[in-house]
């Protein structure tokens, strides 16, 4: 029998890894709340159309990367590869289109079938925000500022560079599309097979190509910013003026694009090279056409998502929570007294470990290895006299304390995790 392992591209989040995840999520949740974003969650699977309609049946995500299947009721289901479409679907199906603007924060697992590598898994986790309703550039600045604050709060903003571009409005993109098709058509024979197919369906997706030959052709391609109309230029100028006023540093990146039709105006990514190869840790933009594409009314949206695994590696923060103290019975006759005492201390707000296996020596070794600093020891004699032995495992000192005075004595040494009454 082969060694039992998690499915390729997935991993267990054991306490040390989970601490890093919680560090990122907790800081992101708190920072987003400062901007008025409220936490919500969507199901991890949706009807396939929720993703195939906006992403397009010819996109790599839909054709190569989604986990899609037919359920027992004959419905076509897909595990979510991203969460923006699910959030917009929730707005429409939840009857929230009359309650705009809406500001949502989320955190959870996503699924894409791709080659696993460091910081990129088949089941991965994201934090994200979506701002639904506003069409103005200040809303774009607001969500970028929120992203920057999240990165600052987890201590990684100085390791990232904000790349920014304008995709323009529909009129600008149509003008640009014609120029791009004319240019790429002259290099059609040299394009990759995928890009040849995209040339007829959505040529802007070719700009996302990772093929080396395609990249060489793209370098000399027409630039989108040269085809922006006055409205699009004004939107971008308002955005960058706001970012400059808030002292949020940014770098113009003309090759930063979103190939799908519902994206417009702002596109941005916070990019780092601190994880080896250059990579995006948080990115997003404006998607004013997504609601209509899903069958809803014309409602604008802007948001971002960040990879928790990458952010956790970059931040290297979070610690495993260790109980403040332990209650140790010196003999089997005192076990139920130790259990009762541990429960009463938890009621008082302390986090308490209760080792149940092994003799006294083994129990104390386990406490030391776990990093617990205070041990409350009781045996038959202590139970009879209504006292306990309070041992400081850091320096070995020990004092006898009455049961009635125990909570007060502990409060002078360590703070309870919650308020308590003496």
Binding-site positions = 82-84, 112, 126, 130, 258, 262-263
Rounded distance, CA 131 to CA 149, Å?
Answer: 16
Rounded distance, CA 79 to CA 105, Å?
Answer: 19
**For residues 185 and 242, is the Cβ–Cβ distance under 8 A?**
no
Apex CA 106: angle with CA 100 and CA 112, to 5°?
120
**For residues 253 and 275, is the Cβ–Cβ distance under 8 A?**
no
Give the annotated binding-site residues for L-histidine.
82-84, 112, 126, 130, 258, 262-263
Q: How many C-beta atoms lie closer than 10 Å to residue 116's C-beta?
A: 15
CA proximity to 179, closest of 209, 216, 223? 223
Cα 37 from chain centroid (whole Å) = 14
Query: In the chain, what are the helix, strand and coil shares in percent, each to the nearest 5?
Result: 40, 20, 35
Residues recorded for the chain: 422
Rounded distance, CA 276 to CA 142, Å?
Answer: 30
Give the pairing of strands 264-272 and 251-252. Answer: unpaired
Q: How would DSSP label each residue in 365-410?
A: HHHHHHT--EEEEE-HHHHHHTEEEEEETTT--EEEEEGGGHHHHH
Number of helices (H), then strands (E), belonging to the chain: the values are 15, 16
Tokens of 315: 């931040």
Give the pairing of strands 123-133 and 279-286. Answer: unpaired
Rounded to the nearest 10 degrees, the angle between the axes of helix 230-245 and helix 137-153 is 40
b vs e for 395-421, b when ≥16 Cβ sit within 10 Å of the residue's Cβ?
eeeeeebebeebbeebeeeeebeeeee
**For residues 389 and 377, is the Cβ–Cβ distance under 8 A?**
yes
């Amino acid at each position: 029998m082969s060694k039992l392992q998690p499915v390729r591209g997935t991993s267990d989040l054991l306490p040390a890894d989970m601490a890093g995840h919680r560090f990122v999520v907790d800081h992101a949740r708190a920072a987003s709340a400062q901007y008025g974003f409220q936490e919500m969650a969507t199901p991890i699977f949706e009807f396939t159309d929720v993703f195939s309609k906006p992403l397009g049946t010819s996109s790599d995500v839909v054709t190569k990367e989604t986990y899609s299947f037919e359920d027992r009721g004959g419905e076509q289901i897909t595990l979510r590869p991203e969460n923006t479409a699910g959030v917009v679907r929730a707005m429409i199906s939840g009857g929230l289109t009359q309650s705009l603007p809406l500001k949502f924060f989320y955190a959870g697992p996503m699924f894409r079938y791709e080659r696993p590598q460091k910081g990129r898994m088949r089941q991965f986790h994201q934090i994200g925000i979506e701002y639904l309703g506003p069409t103005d550039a200040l809303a774009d600045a607001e969500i970028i500022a929120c992203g920057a604050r999240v990165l600052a709060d987890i201590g990684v903003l100085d390791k990232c560079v904000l790349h920014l571009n304008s995709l323009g409005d529909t009129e600008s993109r149509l003008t640009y599309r014609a120029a791009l098709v004319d240019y790429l058509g002259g290099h059609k024979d040299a394009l990759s097979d995928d890009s040849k197919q995209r040339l007829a369906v959505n040529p802007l997706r070719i700009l996302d190509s990772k093929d080396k030959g395609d990249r060489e052709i793209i370098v000399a391609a027409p630039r989108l910013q040269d085809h922006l109309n006055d409205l699009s230029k004004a939107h971008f100028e308002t955005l960058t003026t706001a970012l400059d006023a808030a002292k949020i540093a940014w770098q113009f990146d003309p090759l930063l694009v979103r190939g799908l039709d519902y994206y417009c105006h702002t596109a941005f990514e916070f990019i780092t090279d601190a994880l080896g190869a250059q990579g995006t840790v948080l990115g997003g933009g404006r998607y004013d056409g997504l609601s209509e594409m899903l069958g809803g009314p014309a409602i604008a949206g802007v948001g971002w998502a960040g990879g928790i695994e990458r952010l956790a590696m970059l931040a290297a923060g979070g610690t495993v929570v260790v109980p403040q103290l332990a209650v140790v019975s010196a003999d089997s006759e005192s076990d139920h007294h130790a259990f009762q005492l541990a429960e009463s201390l938890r009621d008082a707000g302390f986090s308490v470990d209760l080792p149940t296996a092994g003799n006294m020596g083994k129990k104390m070794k386990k406490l030391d290895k776990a990093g617990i600093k205070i041990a409350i020891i009781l045996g038959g004699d202590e139970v009879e006299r209504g006292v306990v032995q309070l041992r400081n495992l850091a320096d070995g000192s020990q004092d006898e304390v009455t049961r009635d005075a125990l909570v007060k004595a502990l409060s002078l040494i360590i703070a309870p995790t919650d308020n308590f009454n003496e």
